[in-house]
Structure 1
Amino acid sequence: QIPQSVEELGATCFYECSSLTSVDLSRIKKMDTGVFWHTPLTSVEWPAAVTEIPANTFWGCHQLTTIKGIPSQPGAWDNITKIGANAFNECTALTTIKLPAELKTIDTQAFRTCTSLATVDYGTKLETIGDGAFMSTGALKKFFFKGSVKTLGANAFQESGLTCVHLKGDMIIGKEAFMMCTGLKYVEIPATSNASQPLNNVSEGMFAGCTSLPFITLPASITTIKANAFNGCAALKYVNILADSPATLAANAFDNTPKDIYVKASKLSAYQANAAWNALNLKDTYERTLTTKYATMTHDFPVEFVAANGREAMTAYVGKSTYKVTQPTKVQKILKMTKVNAIAANEGVILAGTPNTTYTYRIAETVATKLADNKVMPVREDTLLYQTEADGKSNWTLQPDYKLHLSENAKTIYCGRAYIHEQNEAGVQGAKSVSFALELDDNPATAGINTVEGNKKDNDNVYYTLSGVRVINPTEKGIYIKNGRKVIIR
């Protein structure tokens, strides 16, 4: 118990007090550094009068699980503007933290080696994340860089558990910021909106040793790739370059990676004329072998589907509308697919082709406009899908039987694929009896995705869609099959 007359706590005043598990800070107005360094505190209520957590305050408090403001003091905790260097370093029991609403600065190594820290929630005023601030936080899988964050220090997330990173164009990023993030699978580097935005380079060693990173797309605004930027990215097979002119490429930037460098077809010669880039494996065409008749795809760069290298162009469809067919035992929903020759970045498509055949596509020379009504949703990072989302719509995934099936709850869909997000049918409990099929706009026959039911008497009111869906008294306009012939419903 701190005496009532005490209002200030000096540097390291409780350092290594091995029996200190709780403390009353309600009358404290000032603290120096390292006050509770290496103590067994389990929870702390912070006083409103102290608006900065000094350096080393809770360093090595291995049992600390909770920190919040004193309930009876308005503004306690939320009024803190800075968390000092090493303030929570080695707080290995801390699993989640809601940072103060007014927080502007997380200083050097503030949360380093918080090995159980999985969730960090912060407000809209955080501007600076210091050097090594979240270094060696293996349980931290996600961290969202909100609009206020402007500076990310060197080694800020080195050896963390991050699986995806979405950067911002107005950030200054120090060297080795994500080095050795061995679980990292997706990085979004946005195109900056104007020349004054600082994210125009990949900093030194920024993603070095990220051994699970399979691809990276570098926007046209990246003008410099610094030394060792991707060195040791052992899974990095695709480097997608959107710039018309080759960026300055430093030594060892892509060493120890199995990469292919993809550029626009019209700019390949410019890269080949650059000695640094020509030493790499430059390509202008992607080749993809379909192992099934249908598949899904998305990319974080614009794509055009063109024939090249003696191969046919990949065939791709978007789904812009649906219609419903009510049958005696089920509701049949049809997604009408439209063939496209190009798509915008982050546009979901369904691919069609002959199994075990290789097709081609390229980075688009001109950027297509993303469709507002495409129901094929892109997956840019490994995502958990649920049958029904908060908006009342269901999620459907393409399965090996070439049908769209309602997703299982908490089912992972992997980066680079796509799914259908569509409204449930009213009166159908959980959409359990809804069957979902595709209708391709250029499908010439009934041999489509959905199998035609056998042993059915073909009465006068029975039709089939071009994709083989049995329809009774169709009301949707279009072409159908009736008694082996095509008919048009107007």
Structure 2
Amino acid sequence: NYNGGEATNSFTITKATITPSVTLEGWTYGESPKTPVVTGNTDNGQVTYTYKAAGESDFTSAVPTVAGTHTVKATIAATANYNGNEVTADFIIAKATPEIKLAEESIRMSINVKNEGDKKQNAVSLYLNDELLQGNYEYQIVSSNDKVIVIEDNTWLKPVGVGEATITVTGPIDDANLEPAQKTFNATVFMTYDLTVAGVPVTSENRTDVLGDGGSVQFDGQKLLKLNQAKLTGAISTTMEELTIFLTGENSITASTAAIIGNKSKLTFTTEGNNPGKILFTTTASAVVEGVSAVLFNQNLAIMSGAINEQNMEIGTPVKPIVGESGETNTVDVGGEDLNNTVIKNVLYTLGEDDYDTDETDNSLLLTNTMVDEDMQNVIDNYAPGTPEFAEHFSGLTFMLPAGTGKVLVTAKTGEDGILNVKIGSQAPYVIKGILELTEIEIPYACAQATYVYIYNASPIAAESNDHRAGKKTTVTVGLASVGVNALGTQPSNTSGNNIEGEQIILSDADVVYDSENATLTAINSEVNSIYDESFVTFPFLKYIDLRNTNITGIKVSREEGAFKGVSKNTFIYVPAGNTTDEANVIIGNICESVVLDANMEEDEAFGLSENFVAGSIEYDRIFSKDEVATIYLPFDIANEDRDEFGTFYTIEKMENGKLKVVEETNGIKAHTPYIFKAATDNTQLYNFNVTEIGMPDEAEARSAVENTPELVGCYETFYVETENDVFRLATDAGNTQFVRMNIDEEVKPFQAYLKADTTTDELTVTDKDITGINQLYDNNNNKMDSYYNLAGQRVVMPTEKGVYVRNGRKTVIR
């Protein structure tokens, strides 16, 4: 029904829009960059990538390499059917963690005894992906132990003490592309001492076994070198100011040079006196010792043969103690043939052919040559037993006691006129006389270190003759059958060689208990083995310093120098056994060879002890004039038979009508008991030279024992009157002895006593018919009578009982 036709019309097909996206996986600094990934590029239009760092505005074609956040932009070109587009995405380049490498995996450094040593650097390198990174990087270096190593300038390792430290290196610090890495290494610091033994330098690492043979040579890290049966084939060389050589067993040094080479050093030889060691030197050089300013010997050691300036020398002792253990008794029968500088069973005989004989009736050894007693101390001070010089100057027998307490046993006879002296160390001799038949005599001893005993004839000289063994001929002989020792208790004589292997632990405030109220100081750390010089100068007066609960050994206690410099003479110093002293009031172990009680203590000083100990002698340092009346309160006994040597002792019986009735004490004078005392003679001094135990009293002991009477109260510290009270002090007025009421601020000194009495009277007169009438005894010719003392140092007016006494300063036996 219709014809066809045509028509035209124009239309447009527009390009499609694409919605692409881009992603880019981040990477770590130093790695190859990742490739961006575009999606939604429908017609695969050409893509161009540009980049910018966070915070930047312009994109560039450069692929970033530095760490941080970046943006990638993908620009897609239009195609025939699709429009172009651009999209962005953020990605991150992470910081890399590098590897630190060190020039040395561990470092060893040394210091000297002044803690001085060279600084050292351990070079640090940085690697990433096994490639060395070039550049200047900053590192942090830290030491785990700044007592061993400190870090200087964040670069240098400086040694400051012996030990080990872990060094941590961290870096690089604040780098844009690298995270800090860490690397640790060990650093060891050892000490080098100015000491070489047989060619081996002594260090803190080898000091406990210098030669690597199990310990024949050991060094304590300070000044003591211990030789324990060492056989050295080379010299001991040192530039130390002071070196002490401790000998154990038999030792020897053989060298082509001097055996000991110093640098103006002071050299001391010592040993455990109870078991002394020895050493033999042999050299092909001109002298055994060179470069030494002084050579000293302790614990009875001496040059037995040879000399320092010769090619051979032996140091030792001729004998060792007769007994070695507590409770042991050993008696040696004396005598023999050829007794000229001869040792038999640890008894040294120095008797020439004309100095001895044998009594055929009892087989006793007769001493026929007498010593000049006044020369004996000179012999002891200048000649050592075992040497030819000693044998030349001493005629008698010598043996050794161990450190501790006990009895010397001597079986002897003297006849009517003979005198036998027994001298223990430097003490006054015990004089034995008047023994007609062989009798065993016991002589107590208390020695802080091993000590020689000298036995010799001290009978009157027959006629003047040339000096022979510092003795003279005598027509009086004395007989000896045996000598021996009963050791009641032994203690170490010298333990300084025992503290070699442990580290040095120095006494500090944390190691002591200081009681300021009671003025005492006690150590509580048994691991302490050393002490600083002048350790107590900052303390006020101390009654005692007790260091026995430490391991401090090898010191010589002195108030003039060293650890105890400045300590009062009235302070009792307790130290462990094995130390030494020449001073009074020093307790070594359990022994104080000399106690001196000061009658004139300073106002802030007082008497006080930590624990009881054994005293070799005790003296009250106050001189009384004849008929002087005083109160006394002392920590030692005076035996009944000895009291008249000093004077008369009184106790209070009662108070009546303003008068004090006193009675003479007829029993022994007891320690820690107050008395009224009247001196018998001028220059009277109270003492006890016997071996005795000393301690502090119970509280009740300071007072008179009689109830309901005025009380004498003893003082070990200054007593002050602070308020009005019923207390009285002793006073003398025109020959009268009185107690007068004390005023406020008046005082009574230590070792004296005051009176407590409930009375309104201000003066109490002492009444007793004898209190003003005790005089020195004289014989019928008006000559002063001989002065006798017992072995306790107490006077006996006229001894009637058998026993050993001191007569005019010399020991004698009354039978």
Please indicate the TM-score interval, normalised by the length of the shorter structure.
Answer: 0.3 to 0.5
Structure having the larger proportion of residues in strand: 2
